[in-house]
């Protein structure tokens, strides 16, 4: 098949079904390769090569693909030396472990990884803790539950007190048990993990 060059800009505007020509390994690396430095990435090999003692493949940056179809097309082009490559994702980096599967990545999972990759560093940390609580990856639910980062439960309780009772006189605040208030908040309505607060 004739080879042609697609740079990352042109590939972003061309669907995988329209890509009738094949990229070289170098072109795939230039357009989609990952240096594994923070963006969600996966190492794509094949079971056929692996079973023959060959771990040839490439780290791919999942944020560089416009959609799942393009990702799968490029993975197959990467291993075009096999007639029907059985893709094997041998390693992963910079996305939650629950999204990783050695042998399969469906479109829904791919979309979630891209959404995760588009979060800021602090929001990724917060999302990691949110998922650690056993929550599903859902950006709407996450943003609804997320209450910010605080140094302590008591600091968040102080914030809640100021929000609920902004006109409380200073002398009255001296009689308010902020420690007990914080315990009540986090026993019933909120969760504190690594400084991040989520509503229950």
Q: Mean pLDDT over all residues of the chain? A: 88
Q: Which domain holds residue 89?
A: 8-118
Q: What DSSP line would sit under 142-174, residue for residue?
A: HHHHEEEE-S-HHHHHHHHHHHH-TT--HHHHT
- Write the pLDDT tens digit of every residue in 87-135: 999 999 999 999 999 998 999 999 999 999 999 999 999 999 999 999 9
Do 38 and 114 lie in one domain? The reply is: yes
Q: Tell me: pLDDT of 195 over 60.
A: yes
Do 149 and 186 lie in one domain? The reply is: yes
Task: Report the domain count for the chain.
Answer: 2
The answer to whether residue 174 sits within a structural domain is: yes
Q: Is the dihedral of CA 110, 14, 82, 33 positive or negative?
A: negative
CA proximity to 84, closest of 71, 75, 95, 93: 75
The answer to whether residue 170 sits within a structural domain is: yes
Tell me what percent of the residues of the chain surpass a pLDDT of 70.
90
Least confident stretch, 20-34, 35-49, 80-94: 20-34
pLDDT at 13: 37
Do 57 and 110 lie in one domain? The reply is: yes
The answer to whether residue 128 sits within a structural domain is: no
Domain boundary among 84, 118, 152: 118
Q: Mean pLDDT across the stretch 6-34? A: 65
pLDDT band at 164 (very low <50, low <70, confident <90, very high): confident
Tell me if 161 sits within 8 A of 168, measured CB to CB: yes
pLDDT band at 20 (very low <50, low <70, confident <90, very high): low
Domain boundary among 51, 85, 118: 118
181/160 Cα distance (integer angstroms) = 10
pLDDT at 90: 97
pLDDT band at 5 (very low <50, low <70, confident <90, very high): very low
Q: In the beta sheet, which residues pair with residue 91? A: 43
Domain boundary among 58, 84, 118: 118
Do 13 and 108 lie in one domain? The reply is: yes
pTM over 0.85, yes/no: no
Q: Please calculate the CA angle 125-127-131 and round it to the nearest 5 degrees.
A: 120
Do 16 and 99 lie in one domain? The reply is: yes
Q: Mean pLDDT across the stretch 138-143? A: 97
């Amino acid at each position: 098949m004739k080879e042609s060059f697609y740079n990352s800009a042109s590939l972003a505007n061309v669907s995988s079904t329209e890509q009738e020509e094949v990229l070289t390994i170098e072109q795939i690396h230039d357009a989609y390769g990952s240096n594994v430095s923070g963006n969600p990435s996966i190492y794509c090999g094949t079971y056929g090569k692996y079973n023959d003692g060959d771990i040839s493949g490439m780290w791919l940056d999942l944020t560089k693909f416009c959609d799942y179809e393009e990702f799968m097309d490029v993975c197959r082009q990467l291993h075009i030396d096999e007639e029907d490559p059985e893709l094997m994702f041998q390693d992963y980096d910079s996305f939650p472990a629950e999204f990783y599967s050695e042998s399969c990545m469906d479109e829904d999972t791919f979309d979630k990884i891209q959404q995760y990759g588009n979060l800021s560093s602090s929001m990724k940390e917060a999302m990691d803790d949110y998922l650690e609580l056993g929550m599903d990856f859902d950006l709407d639910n996450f943003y609804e539950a997320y209450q910010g980062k605080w140094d302590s439960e008591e600091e968040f309780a102080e914030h809640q007190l100021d929000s609920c009772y902004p006109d409380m006189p200073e002398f009255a605040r001296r009689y308010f048990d902020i420690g007990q208030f914080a315990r009540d908040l986090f026993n019933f309505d909120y969760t504190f993990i690594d400084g991040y607060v989520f509503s229950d």
